[in-house]
Amino acid sequence: MIKPIIIDDEKHGIITLEHLISELPEVELVASAQDSTAAKSLIEKHRPDIVFLDIEMPVMNGFEVLKQFDTLPFKVIFTTAYDQYAIKALKMNALDYLLKPISAEDLEESILKYKSSEMQVSREQIAQVHQFVNGKIPDTLALSTQQGQIFIKTENISYLEADGSYTHIVMSDKTKHLASKPLSNFEDILQDNALFFRAQKSFIINLKNIRQYIRGEGGDIMMEDGKNIALSRNKKQEFLGLFYRI
């Protein structure tokens, strides 16, 4: 039996999630609380498998609740109303979340994810998201693997290449990582970072890793590692405007 706790300052949010959980035979709610300051003692008392944690709460937000723990021996699933900035931060750090109003289908998907992979959230992931939500652009990207989380510096990414629903991430030192997310996911994450540019449908490049631009209909971009990337015709003027300012 999977045992969750709900922490949400809005009573109707708790009631909705309680009802949805009651429909799942393998899940038994053990506690809930509206007061975020009581969250730590409640979690320590009940030792849940999952904590459904609201992000926006008075006194202590969800990230501040988690910062009280030295380790996080439970799965965290954040719950949040639509906040593009917060959602981008959660995606960037490979964290699970449910968008309010929560649907039965979304909850079931989160429970299936939990059952298939019981990887725990790290303090580094939480710290990165907290910085992002407070207006700081984090310099680290979290990638989920079968072994756990890999943290890479965004400035050390040379380029990202689409491969169906996967993305190859090539680093400046030529090491490669395979992420089980489409390129569009990373475009959304990196859109506020001036170093990165969508050169065409299949590539996002780090502008500081360009070796040469070769003129043509769209042109070709040669990266520092020798990789040749065709530039989309409709991206040419935008790219050249950036290129000459580097």
What stretch(es) of the chain map to CATH 2.40.50.1020? 140-243
- C-alpha torsion 185→101→44→91, nearest 10: 10
* CATH of the structural domain 4-133, one choice from 3.40.1280.10, 3.40.50.10470, 3.40.50.2300, 3.40.50.720: 3.40.50.2300
Q: For 190-231, what is each residue's pLDDT tens digit?
A: 887 888 999 999 999 999 999 999 988 889 999 999 999 999
Helix residue ranges per DSSP H, 47-156? 62-66, 84-92, 104-116, 123-133
- Is the pTM here over 0.85, yes or no? no
Closest-CA residue to 100 (of 54, 33, 31): 54
What stretch(es) of the chain map to CATH 3.40.50.2300? 4-133
If you ran DSSP here, which 8-state letter would residue 234 be given?
A: G
The DSSP code sequence of 171-213 is ETTS-EEEESS-HHHHHHHHTT-TTEEEEETTEEEEGGGEEEE
Closest-CA residue to 218 (of 196, 197, 201, 234): 234
Per-residue confidence (pLDDT) for residue 151, from 0 to 100: 84
Measure the N-to-C terminal CA separation of the chain; round to a whole number of Å: 56
Residues of the chain with pLDDT under 50: 119, 135-136, 245-246
Q: How many CB atoms lie within 10 A of CB 38?
A: 14
CATH fold, domain 140-243, is OB fold (Dihydrolipoamide Acetyltransferase, E2P) (2.40.50)
Per-residue confidence (pLDDT) for residue 96, from 0 to 100: 80
Task: Give per-residue burial for 90-127: e unless 16+ CB within 10 Å, then b.
Answer: bbbbbbbbbebebeeeebeebbeebeeeebebbeebbb
If you ran DSSP here, which 8-state letter would residue 242 be given?
A: H
Lookup: tokens for 227: 């990789």
Cα separation, 159 vs 163, whole angstroms? 13
